């Protein structure tokens, strides 16, 4: 076969790109490897004079050349990089789950165990050997062992020199040891770089894939290179990393899994206390009073009727408690004439748990709505004797004249209650992290502050309309005690009056100046203009 040099140069790349295609009249080259040998190309180019045109022709001869010891892969492909090897000390639930995720991510895993031959089932593809042997193979060692079993670490200290140790342990309760587990591990192996990580991720979330709630990993350590290696490892596992600083912060990180609703304790205590107080208060006024003074047994009302009085009372008080600390903080800033002095601890703690107070208030409002919808299907309402008694009482009190005022009062009572509950739900929705993160600060402040106070106003008005003209009736005060709804109006009424004072132009302007950095006295104590100027 004869071809020009230009034809040869264009033919070979085309044949290499389409190795399976045979050109007409030409032998197909073989660019792939054969077991044990490499078939290459060898061309013999010789000059000759063609017949007729006198142009030199190139004689091409295709032959094979055996190259033993070559890699068995297509030509032009780089060998894949060797997968990184990680060592895990401990074959418990967390160690097995973490190893399984690492294998799925593309790492190689070797386990270090006290009993390599009887350590239980391990993820397929993982190796197990003694601690000393496993520590020699990897640059990153994940310690999935409780602090009580750190005794073997001193024995493998020479093998761990210069390596990264990832401590994932937690304690059973707070303050169990004077130092954190990570700091104690660093004192045992001073030549290694200890990093605290993965202690907030459970074995269950590793097995089933981390959800949004279990995706964050806290990281702390003294060596930047070691933290960077662990950060890359966590990122490949699909976790988000939050750097908490040096290893001295490990004690705080180890306390995170031991927390039991720390921000909910005060709101739950307040809700429980208010519920218990008003339950027994209304029990005395309604049930016990009827039994003693009227010789009636209405104890069946405890489960629904009495509860449906307690829930709205607690809901309204807790909603007002959400906005009372903000008003108190504004008054304190006006009194001090500066924003740079810290609030008292009790006020600071109160302001930090306002979200939880509001969510609990919304929960009690939901219970009030559900119990109200339940009233028509109660046995006490549907029973013929009781129903006829109620009907007779209504017929006895029925007048021929239509009372427009009562109609306005009833419709306003229901309308204001529905609007208040709708805004209540809106406040609860915007408090969700997924919703609040999508809002700007001005939007979030408008909903939680402006609409929040409007919600408080509507719910308070709903309660006032419920009482209507009962405030001046002597029969309302059984045993000289006011009804529960009158007691619950005290706190929201105070909050609304104080808020009304805060929005007055002179007060609002002065408060705005203070919150922008204005102070009544300068840095050296000299006086300034009056606050209300």
Same domain assignment for residues 330 and 420: yes
410-418: long-range contacts (C-beta < 8 A, 24 or more apart)? 412/465, 413/462, 413/465, 413/466, 416/458, 416/461, 416/462, 416/465, 417/458, 417/459, 417/462
What pLDDT is stored for residue 120 in this prediction?
A: 80
Q: Does residue 47 lie in a domain region?
A: no
pTM recorded for the entire structure: 0.72
| Mean pLDDT, range 108-112, rounded to an integer | 95
Residues in the chain: 533
Note whether 499 and 444 are same-domain residues.
Answer: yes
Q: What is the pLDDT of residues 270-309, one digit of tens each?
A: 999 999 999 999 999 999 999 999 888 889 999 999 999 9
Q: Are residues 316 and 434 in the same domain?
A: yes
Determine, yes or no, domain membership for 289. yes
**292 and 429, same domain (yes or no):** yes
Cα–Cα separations (whole angstroms), residue 288 to 63, 157, 481, 506: 111, 74, 13, 52
**Is 250 inside any structural domain?**
yes
Q: Are 305 and 432 found together in one domain?
A: yes
Q: Give the per-residue pLDDT at 383.
A: 72
Residue 389 confidence (pLDDT): 56
The predicted model gives 359-384 an average pLDDT of 89
Does the residue 123 lie in any domain? yes
Q: Please count the structural domains in the chain.
A: 2
132 and 197 housed in the same domain: yes
Domain assignment present for residue 477? The answer is yes
Does position 53 have pLDDT exceeding 50, yes or no? no
Higher pLDDT, 32 or 460: 460
Q: What is the CATH number of the domain that holds 236?
A: 3.40.50.720
Check whether residue 191 and residue 170 sit in a common domain: yes
How much of the chain, in percent, has pLDDT values that exceed 90?
62
* Domain identity same for 134 and 275: no
User: Which three-class secondary structure state does DSSP give residue 416?
Assistant: helix
Residue pLDDT, tens place only, 406-432: 899 999 999 999 999 999 999 999 999
pLDDT at 79: 57
DSSP, residue by residue, 41-86: -EE---EEEPTTT--EEEE--EE--B-TT--SS-TTPPPPPPPPEE
Together in a domain, 249 and 273:
no
pLDDT by residue (tens digit) across 205-224?
A: 888 765 554 578 999 999 99
Which carries the bigger pLDDT value, residue 93 or residue 16?
Answer: 93
The residue-averaged pLDDT of 242-268 equals: 92
pLDDT at 314: 97
The single residue listed with the structure tokens 């074995």 is 203
Q: Please check whether residues 345 and 494 belong to one and the same domain.
A: yes
Q: Considering the domain boundaries, does residue 1 fall inside one?
A: no
Residues 274 and 248 in one domain: no
What average pLDDT is seen over the chain? 83
442 and 357 share a domain? yes
Residue span of the structural domain in which 122 resides: 85-258
Nearest to 390 by CA among 402, 376, 407: 376
């Amino acid at each position: 076969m004869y071809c020009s040099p230009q034809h040869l140069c264009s033919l070979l790349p085309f044949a290499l790109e389409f190795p399976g295609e045979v050109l007409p009249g030409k032998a197909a080259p073989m660019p792939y490897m054969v077991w044990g040998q490499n078939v290459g190309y060898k061309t013999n180019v010789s000059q000759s004079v063609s017949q007729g045109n006198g142009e030199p022709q190139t004689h091409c001869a295709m032959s094979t050349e055996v190259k033993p010891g070559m890699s068995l892969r297509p030509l032009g492909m780089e060998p894949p990089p060797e997968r990184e090897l990680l060592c895990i000390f401990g074959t418990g639930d967390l160690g097995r789950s973490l190893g399984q995720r690492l294998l799925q991510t593309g790492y190689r895993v070797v386990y270090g165990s006290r009993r390599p031959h009887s350590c239980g089932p391990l993820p397929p593809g993982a190796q197990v050997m003694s601690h000393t042997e496993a520590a020699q193979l990897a640059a990153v060692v994940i310690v999935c062992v409780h602090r009580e079993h750190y005794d073997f670490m001193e024995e493998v200290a020479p093998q761990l020199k210069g390596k990264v140790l990832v401590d994932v342990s937690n304690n059973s309760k707070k303050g169990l040891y004077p130092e954190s587990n990570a700091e104690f591990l660093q004192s045992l192996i001073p030549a290694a770089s200890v990093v605290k990580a993965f202690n907030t991720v459970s074995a269950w979330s590793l097995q089933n894939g981390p959800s949004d709630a279990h995706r964050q990993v806290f990281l702390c350590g003294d060596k930047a290179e070691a933290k960077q290696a662990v950060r890359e490892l966590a990122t490949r596992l699909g976790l988000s990393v939050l750097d908490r600083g040096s290893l001295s912060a490990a004690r705080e990180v180890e306390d995170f899994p031991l927390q039991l609703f720390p921000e909910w304790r005060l709101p739950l205590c307040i809700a429980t206390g208010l519920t218990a107080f008003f339950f027994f208060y209304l029990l005395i006024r309604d049930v016990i009073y009827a039994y003693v003074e009227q010789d009636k047994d209405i104890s069946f009302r405890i489960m629904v009727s009495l509860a449906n009085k307690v829930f709205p009372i607690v809901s309204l008080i807790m909603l007002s408690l959400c906005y009372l600390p903000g008003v108190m903080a504004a008054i304190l800033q006006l009194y001090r004439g500066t924003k740079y002095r810290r609030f008292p601890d009790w006020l600071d703690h109160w302001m930090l748990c306002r979200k939880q107070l509001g969510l609990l208030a919304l929960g009690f409002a939901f219970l009030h709505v559900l119990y109200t919808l339940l009233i028509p299907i109660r046995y006490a309402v549907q029973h013929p004797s009781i129903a006829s008694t109620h009907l007779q009482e209504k017929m006895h009190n029925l007048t021929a004249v239509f009372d427009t005022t009562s109609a306005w009062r009833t419709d306003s009572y229901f309308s204001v209650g529905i609007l208040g509950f709708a805004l209540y739900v809106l406040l609860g929705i915007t408090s969700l992290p997924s919703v609040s993160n999508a809002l700007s600060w001005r939007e979030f402040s408008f909903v939680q502050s402006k609409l929040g106070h409007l919600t408080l106003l509507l719910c308070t008005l709903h309660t006032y309309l419920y009482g209507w003209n009962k405030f001046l009736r002597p029969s309302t005060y059984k045993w000289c005690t006011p009804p529960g709804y009158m007691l619950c109006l005290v706190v929201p009424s105070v909050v609304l009056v104080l808020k009304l004072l805060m929005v007055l132009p002179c007060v609002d302007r002065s408060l705005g100046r203070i919150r922008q950095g204005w102070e009544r006295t300068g840095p050296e104590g000299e006086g300034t203009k009056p606050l209300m100027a």
